[in-house]
Structure 1
Amino acid sequence: MKLLLTDSGIINRSITDALVELLGQPIAESSALYVPTAIYAKPIGPEMAHRTISGQEPRSPMTEVGWKSVGVLELTALPSLDRELWEPKVQEADVLLVGGGDPLYLHYWMQQSGLAELLPSLDLVYVGLSAGSMVMTPRIGASFVGWTPPEGGDDSTLGLVDFAIFPHLDYPGMDNTMAEAERWAAELPIPAYAIDNQTALKVVDGTVEVVSEGHWRLFEA
């Protein structure tokens, strides 16, 4: 599995070019599955899910970039279904688009659905947006803990990469300043990237490449 961990989706030419490189073929020849699950843990969940699924969210484009086909994979539905109804669709996809929202809610349903155990074996490109990117890290940091699972827990997530992500750096209307990122990173025992909406992290075989038309910073462990 190849990873493109974005802050705000496929938002600029550099990130688009990186995606095409990872796919090894044009976007127009590639099939996608979109996972909206994380957004339902936010007050704007239903409205935002509609906008992102229908390709009406230009601030964070994912489904509207010209895919050959787009399907929706809702993780909360999967535990009630036989795996043969949904797992082949994941295996056949060229790209898994995982949207933003609450990273711990997304982590919980990735585990409950069985997708988490399937991810490492997938031969596709995983594109995360905000929470969809953060869930691949070992920890999100206490600052980003919102929803917590019924049995409780901490800030741990999947750990499929060995660094943390601080998203939406200096985004208007948010408190995600560089000073806040420094405080957040100081609490983590792993390397951490602060990235803005024009930045993504491309990960292939454990090697990280920053793709950016904006600004970012790496905090060493």
Structure 2
Amino acid sequence: MKLLLTAAGVNNKSIHEALVDMLDKPIAECNALCIPTAMYGHPWVGPGVRTWEFISGNSENPMVNLGWKSVGVLELTALPSINRERWVPLVQETDVLLVSGGDALYLSHWMKQSGMAALLPSLKAVYVGMSAGSMVMAPRIGEFFVGWTPPSGGDEAMNLVDFSIFPHLEHEMLPHNTMAAAEKWAAEMQGPAYAIDDQTAIKVVGGEAEVISEGQWRLFSK
């Protein structure tokens, strides 16, 4: 599976070109599924208006409104109550998964509970994450980002990449997301960690990570 892990969506030319390069056909020929689940776990973005904005493509973060052939909604919290034969083929046939921001541990919990976590590595789709939708791929998210607490406790996520992500670096509306805070956060991680701003993404193909940026980022290596 190919991953495009963004902080704020496909919001500049470089990230857009990276996405087009990862697809095997033009955006206008691709079918997408958007996954808003993470938003319900975060008090700032869901439930309510902002969830609708993401799903409808009226969000300020370009993902759903990029010109896809079709866009559907895949709500992970509903999947355990639905026969797998109804949704697994749909996911297997889609070209792109658009995964919103919100709470990364809430998203990780429902990825696992729904069966999506086990399915993801085998998919042909390009996975496009935003904020929590990107952070969830890491082994851990770090105590700095723990909001919703999973039943098992801890800060473990899905462990589908070998690095962690600190998004929204030096964002004017998030005064605690400073480089100094990122340095402290990274010191607590057990592996590589990236701090990325909203003009940066991490492209992962064949297990190899590449930074795509028109902004500020830093790799903290162990």
| TM-score > 0.5 by shorter chain | yes
TM-score of the superposed pair, with normalisation by structure 1? 0.97
Q: What SS does structure 2 have at the residue aligned with 1:160?
A: coil
For 1:205, give the aligned amino acid.
Answer: G
For 1:166, give the aligned amino acid.
Answer: F
Rounded to whole Å, the distance in 2 between the matches of 1:5 and 1:119 is 15
Rounded to whole Å, the distance in 1 between the matches of 2:148 and 2:10 is 26
CA-to-partner distance for each residue in 1:163-196, whole Å, 9 max, x for gaps? 0000000011211000000000011110000000
Matched, 1:182 2:183: yes
Partner of 1:31: 31
Partner of 1:191: 192
For 1:54, give the aligned amino acid.
Answer: S
CA-to-partner distance for each residue in 1:21-61, whole Å, 9 max, x for gaps? 00022111111000000000122302211001111112x11
Partner of 2:42: 42
Partner of 1:7: 7
Rounded to whole Å, the distance in 2 between the matches of 1:56 and 1:177 is 28
TM-score of the superposed pair, with normalisation by structure 2? 0.97
Matched, 1:70 2:71: yes
CA-to-partner distance for each residue in 1:134-186, whole Å, 9 max, x for gaps? 0001000010011012x332110111100000000001121100000000001
For 1:31, give the aligned amino acid.
Answer: N
For 1:120, give the aligned amino acid.
Answer: P
CA RMSD of aligned residues (A): 0.8
Is the contact made by 2:42 and 2:147 (CA closer than 8 Å) also made in structure 1? no
CA-to-partner distance for each residue in 1:83-135, whole Å, 9 max, x for gaps? 01111110010011111000000000001100011001111100000000000
Rounded to whole Å, the distance in 2 between the matches of 1:40 and 1:219 is 31
For 1:56, which of 50, 55, 58 is the aligned residue? 58
For 2:25, give the aligned amino acid.
Answer: Q
Partner of 1:119: 120
Partner of 1:205: 206
Rounded to whole Å, the distance in 2 between the matches of 1:25 and 1:216 is 30
How many residues of Structure 1 are paired with residues of Structure 2 in the alignment?
Answer: 219
Partner of 1:170: 170
Unmatched tracts of structure 1, length 5 or more: none
Partner of 1:22: 22
Which segments of structure 1 move beyond 6 Å, counting only runs of 4 or more? none
Identical-residue share of aligned pairs (%): 63
Unmatched tracts of structure 2, length 5 or more: none
